[in-house]
Amino acid sequence: MNIPVFHDDQHGTAIIVGAGLLNALKLVNKKIEDVKVVFNGAGAAGIACARFLLSLGVRKENVVLCDLKGVVRHDNVGNNIYQKEFVTDRNISTLSEAMVGADVFIGVSVANVVSKEMLKQMAENPIVFALANPNPEISYNDAKDARPDVIMATGRGDYPNQVNNVLGFPFIFRGALDVQATCINEEMKIAAAKALAKLALLPVPEYVSKAYGQEKIEFGKEYIIPKPLDLRVIECVAVAVAKAAIDTKVANKTIENWETYKAELRKRVERVRKNYSSCNF
């Protein structure tokens, strides 16, 4: 198809996970090419996240993929061509064994499959993205209790670091459509993730903090991903995606003046602000 098509449950999730991971690694001073990553959930979302993290710099030999049967290995993968990309020959069979020494856990599976003991076996300053909804693979409180040094993200808005796809797909499509992109390629997805990661490093507007009942939100272990109510996200992501589409020659239209384009995006935001003025925007 000569139009942009995007599977949000796969690629939207992967982009937000990627943005959060880039910033989490910055906080713990680890290099993406060095970290050992365990995925639990080897379906569409898990495979998409694993592939995308490879695009960001994770090394395939540092990835362990787990499903209902445990670690995906050459001797149990069967005919699943997607899981075959991430088979391992390491002498491990269970999620518990895979977690020993791991730097990062990314769960896109089911609730309560990760125990406190598993977290205690992870490397120093573990990064845990437990994204099962409505209940994560390990609760926020249990993770913090087991590992006070953890950086924790979930799919829920009542805990810090919500991995919410709404940060991605509306604005990815805004940028793609504004340059009449024929597809959403890997470079555009990487641009979106890096733009979101960069935004989280900037000072957070007062209206965002107020919207979440906080005096001040700032970059740190409990804020590695921008908030969905941050109206700067549209400009941040749409511009990055549009530029990437043009640079990779999948755009049928160029943008002559980027400052004018940014101003047009801000006008869209102002309409939202006026319509929802009671929400402290």
- Cβ 130 vs Cβ 151: under 8 Å: no
81-131: pLDDT as tens digits: 999 999 998 999 999 999 999 999 999 999 999 999 999 999 999 999 999
Co-location of 171 and 191 in the same domain: yes
163: β partners: none
Bridge-based pairing state of the strands 70-71 and 63-67: antiparallel
Predicted local confidence at residue 223, as pLDDT: 98
> In terms of domains, do 137 and 267 share one?
no
Residue 168 predicted with pLDDT over 70: yes
Among 98, 119, 154, where does a domain finish? 154
Alpha helices by DSSP H, listed for the chain, are: 13-28, 44-56, 95-98, 116-120, 140-146, 169-178, 186-201, 206-211, 233-247, 258-275
> What's the Cα-to-Cα distance from 54 to each of 18, 25, 42, 189, rounded to whole Å?
10, 15, 15, 13
Phi/psi region, residue 112 (left: phi>0; alpha: psi -120 to 50; beta: rest), is: left
Answer yes or no: is 243 within a domain. yes
Answer for the pair 137, 95: CB distance below 8 angstroms, yes or no.
no
Q: Are residues 144 and 19 in the same domain?
A: yes
- Give yes or no: residues 196 and 69 share one domain: no
What is the model's pLDDT at position 281?
53
Is 1 inside any structural domain?
Answer: no
Confidence of residue 279 (pLDDT cuts 50, 70, 90): low
Q: Which amino acid is at 53?
A: L
How many helices (H) does the chain have, and how many strands (E)? 10, 6
Helix ranges (DSSP H) in 64-216: 95-98, 116-120, 140-146, 169-178, 186-201, 206-211
Asked if the model's pLDDT at residue 33 lies above 70, the reply is yes
Give residue 112's domain range: 8-154
Residue 1 contacts by C-beta under 8 Å, 6 or more apart in sequence?
none
Hey, what amino acid is at 229? L
Considering the domain boundaries, does residue 3 fall inside one? no
50 and 113 together in one domain:
yes
- Tell whether 24 and 139 lie within a shared domain: yes
User: pLDDT above 70 covers what percent of the chain?
Assistant: 97
Do 143 and 173 share a domain, yes or no?
Answer: no
Q: Mean pLDDT, to the nearest integer, of 54-64?
A: 98
Residue 169 lies in a domain: yes
User: Are 124 and 215 in the same domain?
Assistant: no
Of 106, 126, 154, the residue that ends a domain is 154
Clarify whether residues 49 and 16 are in a common domain: yes
* Predicted TM-score (pTM) of this structure: 0.95
- Whether residues 102 and 14 share a domain: the answer is yes
Report the pLDDT averaged over residues 71-88: 91
Sheet of 127-130: strand order equals: 70-71, 63-67, 37-40, 104-107, 127-130, 151-154
Domain annotation covers residue 53: yes
Report yes or no on 69 lying in a domain.
yes
Residue 234 CB coordination number (10 Å): 19
Residue 86 belongs to a domain: yes
Residue 56 falls inside a structural domain:
yes
Same domain, 150 and 15: yes
First-residue to last-residue Cα distance in the chain: 39
Whether residue 271 is predicted with pLDDT greater than 90 in this model: the reply is no
Q: Which helix (H) or strand (E) holds 39?
A: strand 37-40
Per the structure, the count of domains in the chain is 2
> Does 238 share its domain with 104?
no
Please list the helix, strand and coil fractions of the chain in percent, rounded to the nearest 5, in that order: 45, 10, 45
Which of 107, 124, 154 is the last residue in one of the domains?
A: 154
**Which CATH number belongs to the domain containing residue 113 in this structure?**
3.40.50.720
